[in-house]
Every structure is written in C-alpha cells, then in structure tokens.
Amino acid sequence: MSANLPIQKRYDFMLFFDVKDGNPNGDPDAGNLPRIDAETGHGLVTDVCLKRKIRNYVGMKYEDKAPYSIFIKEKAILNNTIKQAYISLDIDLKNAPADNADGSKRNKENQGQGREVDRAKQFLCHNFFDIRTFGAVLSTGANAGQVRGPAQLTFARSVDPVVALEHSITRMAVTTEAESEKQSGDNRTMGRKFTVPYGLYCGYGFISAPFAEQTGFGEEDLELLWESLKNMFDHDRSAARGLMSTRKLIVFEHNSKMGDAPVQELFDAVKVIRCDENKPAREFSDYSIEINLANIPPGVQMIEKV
C-alpha cells in the first residue's frame, strides 16, 4: 500500500449501463418486481445494488485478502470483524487501556476508547477496500467509530420509462412427495418471472479528495474502482438479471482537491438522445450519448473510461 497515496483531485462521474430481458434490481417489498418510479415509470437501481457489485468484483479479484478485503459481504458478522481489528493491534478490551492517555480504566468492557478507536479505524481502513472507498458504521460492538467514505453513488435511473413484464414459468419437478401425489405424478411447479425488455440507466458518482485523505483511498484504489465499474456486470450474471452491461463511464477530473466547477455544469454537458422516437428502444444503438466539450469549464478534464 506504500504506493497507494491518497488522491489529490476531485472526481465526478456518470455511469451508463443497460439491461435486456432481465430484472436489474428487484424490490423485495413489491414481490421482487423491477424498481420503478411510480409517477414517471422510469426504472431505478439503488446505490446499494451497484456498490454490492463493486464489492463482489474486488472480493473475487483479490480473493478477499488485505488490503483489498471486503467488510460488507455475504454472511459476515461485522462486530466480529471490528473486534478482530483490536486483537490484531494487541489491544486488550477487557482490561484498562495500556496508555493512560486513553483513560485509567475501561469505561465499558469489550469496547475501545480514546485513541484506541482511531487506531482500530485506521487498521480497518487500511485492510478493507470498501471501508476506504464507501465508508462504514464501525461504532457497534468493540467500536471503531464511523468512516465517511470519499466515493458516493446515487440511484441509477433509466433514461426513458420502462415496462415491467411478468412471465409464467414452469419447473418440471416438485419439492416434496406430497406435492407429487397432489398432481398424480405430473410433477410441475409454476412460478413467475419479471423482466424489463430494455432499459438504459444512468447513475452519478462523486469522489472527494479531502475524505480520501481521511480513509487512505489512493490512486491504486481509484483505478480499481474504475475497473470495477467497467467489469462488474461480467461477474454478476444470473438468469434473473438478463443481459446487463456497462456501456459508458464518463469521468470528470478536476485539477484541485475541492474541484473547479459545480457538478451540475459537468453533468449537463452530457445529453442522451433517442435515435428514433417512433419505436421502442431495444438496443444501446437506439441511443446516442453526446458530450458538449465546449460546456466543460476550464480546470476540468473529461475522460471516457468506456
């Protein structure tokens, strides 16, 4: 991690991805229907869904090994991970702090206090990519405080309204003998599947250099984030999600830590145009993404990663 120096510039980006004959992000409160804005009909994909795919990509690439381990992962017990940070730092949470500056007694057994909390937080930031990148609430259990990550994502929203289709599906098998007897051996199970015929989605992201200094998010982490955004759908295939692909990743690189232009000016320079309004969009080629370079203020460089 010695070469992974904290970034010194602000970055804003736009991620375009599409789905064909799949459910990009089911809503468990609505029977797993694709998420849709009820007023406009536009499709939605949550920031949590996108971050999950990034975490999964990094975890697979580095086999969940430090300094690219993943904190929020399937079946993880977060308090155990926080406690392990203290064990790795040789901090005894059952007895009084070793340094009197952290207190003459343990205020609450099995909880860090004083500078111990900062040491545990730094340890976790160093070893876990998603904490360095997105931040995390670490104040539960042994307590390692809270981390506000430098990289933040919005919900992605489809460019046009989408249609959620419902399909009946059949499985030529049943689960139990009782079901088989009910059907006189026919052994069929009926089900439902929901898809979006086609949708082009756009999500926005922001990376703060001042927050990157606090977590240690560096240049190597930044390149890994771009790589993840480009390739995350290729390692997230399932029958339910259909065909999903990153289509374009537009990055705005500022020349300073605090930025050189309001983000909306940058995003407004990008326009998505339907090539033929008289037919429904079913391919990425049905759209054209145009960038007006003249509207990008001085001090900001536009980079197309995809």
pLDDT digits (tens, 9 = 90+) for 178-213: 888 888 777 777 788 999 999 999 999 999 999 999
Kindly state the average pLDDT of the residues 40-55: 98
Q: Name the CA dihedral angle for 66, 72, 77, 80, rounded to a multiple of 10 degrees.
A: 40
CB contact at 8 A, 273 and 288: yes
Is 226 a member of any domain?
Answer: yes
Is 115 a member of any domain?
Answer: yes
- What's the CA gap between 203 and 249, in Å, rounded? 10
Is 1 a member of any domain?
Answer: no
- What's the CA gap between 29 and 33, in Å, rounded? 9
- What's the CA gap between 268 and 116, in Å, rounded? 45
Q: Which domain holds residue 84?
A: 11-304
Instruction: List, in order, residues 6 or more apart from 285 with CB less than 8 Å away.
Output: 275
**pLDDT of the residue at 1:** 42
Burial 127-158 (b: 16+ CB within 10 A, else e): bbbbbbbbbbebeebbbbbebebbbbbebbbb
Is 3 a member of any domain?
Answer: no
What's this model's pTM, rounded to 2 decimal places?
Answer: 0.92
Is 241 a member of any domain?
Answer: yes
Is 128 a member of any domain?
Answer: yes
* Number of domains into which the chain is organized: 1
Is 51 a member of any domain?
Answer: yes
Is 5 a member of any domain?
Answer: no
> What are the beta bridge partners of residue 31?
none
- Confidence class for position 3, pLDDT limits 50, 70, 90: low
CB contact at 8 A, 22 and 199: no
